Amino acid sequence: MSDVISEGKMEAMKESLARHGQEHVLTWWEELDNAGKEELVKDLSDVDLEEMTDMYQKTCGDDVGPGRDMSTMEPVDPSLCESIVSSSPAQLSLYRDAALLAAGAGQV
């Protein structure tokens, strides 16, 4: 294993990931240095796998089925879309700041 996480905690993490179909997340574990392993462990501890799985099932999973009414869905209005190519440096700076604030608040 490693000094990053105890063997017991690693087994619990593997079991949780497998229970939610996410065991592939650890595919490259042995390729990571200790800092990368620590970051991955922290990131995984912040993810509510139960909630993630539930949200997926409600929106895209087997429970949705062909009976879901999609007739009212419309494409997003092009005026609401921005491009890195067409945005000004000031706009990009605003977007970057907003993204960093949201990420810092745990909203993304």
pLDDT confidence bin for 1, thresholds 50/70/90: very low
Q: What is the mean pLDDT of residues 94-106?
A: 92
pLDDT in the model for residue 81: 83
Q: Quick check: 78 pLDDT over 60?
A: yes
| Six token digits for residue 17 | 């990931």
Mean residue pLDDT of the chain comes to: 87
Give the global pTM: 0.54
For 34-67, the pLDDT digits (tens) are 999 999 999 999 999 999 888 888 877 776 666 6
Count CA atoms closer than 13 A to 33's CA, side-chain side. Answer: 1
